[in-house]
Structure 1
Amino acid sequence: MTTMRKTIISLLFALSGAAGVAHADTLAMQDNAPDRYVVVKGDTLWGISGHFLKQPWRWPEIWNLNREQIKNPHWIYPGDVVVLDRSGATPRLKLLKNERAGSNGEVKLSPRIRASDLDNDAVPSIPLTSIQPFLNKPLVVEENELLTAPRVAAGPDDRVVFAVGDKIYAVNMPDPKVGDVYQAFRPAQPLFDPKDPDHKRVIGHEVTYLGDVVVEKPGQVVTLRVKTSKEEIGIGARLVKANEAQYLNYAPHAPDRDVHGLVVSAYGSVAEAGPMTTLVINLGAGDGMDVGTVLATWKAGRPIKKESSNEPDLFTPNERTGNLFIYRVFPHFSYGLLLDSTEPVNVADEVTNP
């Protein structure tokens, strides 16, 4: 079996998925797709692909890359030239490298798989600035995590709120070590699974990030110092160990199975979410979500007003409103960035395969 044939088979398998979610339709090119595009600082792979494709998330297909090859695609930089090759049966994109090219300027794409922060000037899949605040800070926490989280129990005096530089004491902290950094947060409202008809099943709790604290002296009662403070940290605040922000720059792909979920909340508790808003959905790792999964958002049909009781219940068709790029995954929910939308997205709107 030739290398090219192996690549084609791998590509088809990655795109079809184990549950038979296939993309047999032809890639739809933009009517005014350019012959070439020069990459500039601030570009994203999604945006670059939008110059060529009507469905930007399908760019791995036009690059002819399989799922493993497109993880962490640190291989496009400002100054590179993306060329649309129309010579074959299907259009393909090629890359002319700026200052790193060979004698003819063209390179073979061999993306490296790396689990690291996005570095240098490599072009990210989606706008990094839109998701940076949520990569290592809690927005929603699991029910069990909230119940077992360490808590701020006291200060050095009778005060109940603390700011930068203050000493505080915490309990229920497992295996603390000097220098460990914890994030303080205040629990807000519970998030109920919209799929539960009784609206009683809690899938997580919205939280407000307050600041960072650092361990100074371990013990049954741990001594900490407030390192940074976005808001005042009060008695009863919960703590979660800080992790280094790590953005896995996966390229977009459809789920490997048929999925159907709902929007649980929008960052900032906005009633109507627009582009570049982080949404929380009630699908997590157990539902097949991973970083880079793309979902379609849908507005549910509205009931048709009846003129008589004899008329059947009818609804307007569901309407597709946008594309959601999943960038952080938890067991029972995920964070996704709404990259584009034709109308506002609301809580309880549907998300499905694109």
Structure 2
Amino acid sequence: MIRRPPRQRLAAPVGAGLGLVLLAAAAAATAQPNFPVTPAQRSTAQQVAQQGVPFDELAPEAPDSYTVKAGDTLWGISGIFLRRPWRWPELWGMNLSEIRNPHLIYPGQVLYLDRSGERARLRLAQPVRDGGTVKLSPRVRSGPVGGDAISSVPLHLIAPFLNEAVVFTGDELVTAPRVVAAPEGRVLMARGDLAYVRGEMGGLRDWRLFREAKPLRDPETQEVLGYEARFVGTAEYVRAGETLTLDNGKSQVVPATVRVTGNREEVGIGDRLVPVPARDFSSYAPHAPASAVNGRIIAVYGDALSAGQNQIVSLNRGSADGMERGHVLALWQRGATVVDRQDPERAVMKLPDERHGMLFVFSVFDRVSYALILQVQAPVRAGDRFTQPD
């Protein structure tokens, strides 16, 4: 829970035209050039750098300033100042010639809400106390990407799923290395156990284990959009396999060896191995889709029939449909079908869909995406609709 600080008496910021300067460093830009800042976000920031946002876009109790704390998120801070948190670029007019990644914010920084003109702007400043008055001096922060920067949303809620929730497009698992045996004739293996594997491993060290790939079908067309496999656990490479030639001239296979390093459930014979991808440490900047979106929830991740806040769902839209990581989506509950009992004809009515929650897209594949349920008022089920937010 982010607590709003008491209002402070503030002196006007030095160099007010600087805007919100969050990060500047050519070295950082060189180290990681592909920051997740969309052209639409950058265009919006350029437009509002001089304009700001209307006062009616501010949250009713938006404070004059807020000091960023460890554990804060971009989503939470935006919600303190704005009615609609995903519209953060419109409040933060930015000096884009200096900013390399505008959604990186750090604990200890002070965000100052400037209401001096006809529109509001949010500026970054460093507090300097002088006789009880907080003077706000703009500051450019230089440093490497990541570090102690706050996240856009609570990453601990989605981090476990970055490796687990995977959509395969075809027969990748059919040709993937597979567990064929274990020491002492075991058929189930837990953390620390060895397992023997056949298939091309290429000397890679870290692996994920999956089983039972099932089709993900579009709730409307029933088209197969991809295949979701059950995540079993993780393993690390121990030694390579080989093929021996016996004295009689026949060949004998010696499988490769891996060690189970983590379990969602016990590893079994036939489970398939997939390399662990390079970890993506870039931030997830919340933003609304640039164009209209209308789709359906395919399923609740796991075995549940319905989901609530902080759970994961799969969506029938992916990168091929313009979906991006960081998209904020409105969630709609399907209206029930009821009978008008006062009508002699007993007319059947379909009640309107009602907006009742919000999704945050964190993982995008070609035809499918995964999203975190940020907030919701009723259970979420397969077939529920999502759109772009207002």
TM-score bucket (shorter structure) = 0.7 to 0.9
Counterpart for residue 94 of structure 1: 123
Q: Which of 69, 75, 79 does residue 108 from structure 2 map onto?
A: 79
In structure 1, the residue corresponding to 2:296 is in which secondary structure? strand
Q: Does 1:186 align with 2:217?
A: no
Provide the C-alpha distance between the structure 1 equivalents of 2:298 and 2:151, rounded to a whole number of angstroms. Answer: 27
2:88 to 31, 42, 59: 59
SS in 1 for 2:83: coil
Cα 1:111–1:145 change in 2 (3 A) is: farther
Give the fraction of aligned pairs with identical amino acids, expressed as a percent.
38
Q: 1:50 pairs with 67, 79, 83, which one?
A: 79
The residue identity in structure 2 corresponding to 1:161 is L
Distance change (3 Å), C-alpha of 1:202 and 1:284: closer
Which among 211, 225, 231 is matched to residue 234 of structure 2? 211
Correspondence for 1:335 among 345, 353, 370:
370
Are residue 350 (structure 1) and residue 379 (structure 2) matched? no
Distance 1:67 1:345, change over 3 A: farther
Per the TM alignment, residue 49 of structure 1 is displaced from its structure 2 partner at its CA by: 1.0
Which ranges in structure 1 are unaligned for 5 or more consecutive residues? Answer: 5-9, 17-23
Deviations 1:119-141 (A, max 9, x none): 2x211100011111112334554
Q: Does 1:30 align with 2:64?
A: no
Match of 2:352 in 1: 317
Q: State the partner residue of 1:123.
A: 150
TM-score by length of structure 2 reads 0.73
- Aligned with 1:195 (options 220, 223, 234): 220
- Determine the structure 2 residue equivalent to 1:224: 257
* Cα distance between partner residues in 2 of 1:54 and 1:217: 57
CA distance in 1, matches of 2:383, 2:180: 37
Tell me the CA shift for residue 78 of structure 1.
1.5
Which piece of structure 1 moves more, 213-222 or 131-140?
A: 213-222
Q: State the alpha-carbon separation in 2 of the partners of residues 310 and 67 from structure 1.
A: 63
Q: Do 1:71 and 1:251's aligned partners in 2 also have CA atoms closer than 8 Å? A: no
Deviation at 1:301, TM superposition (A): 1.9
Q: Deviations over 1:237-285 (max 9, x none)?
A: 0111012332321311122332211112223433332222222111111
Flag the 1:33–1:351 CA change in 2: closer, same or farther, 3 A. Answer: same
Write the distance in 2 (CA, Å) between the matches of 1:113 and 1:313: 61
Q: Is the 8 A contact 1:11 1:67 kept in 2?
A: no
- How big is the alpha-carbon RMSD for the aligned residues of Structure 1 and Structure 2? 3.4
Count of aligned positions:
329
1:14–1:66 contact (8 Å) kept in structure 2: no
* Alignment CA distance shift 1:323-1:84 (3 Å): same
Residue 21 of structure 1 is matched in structure 2 by none
Deviation of the 1:303 alpha carbon: 1.9
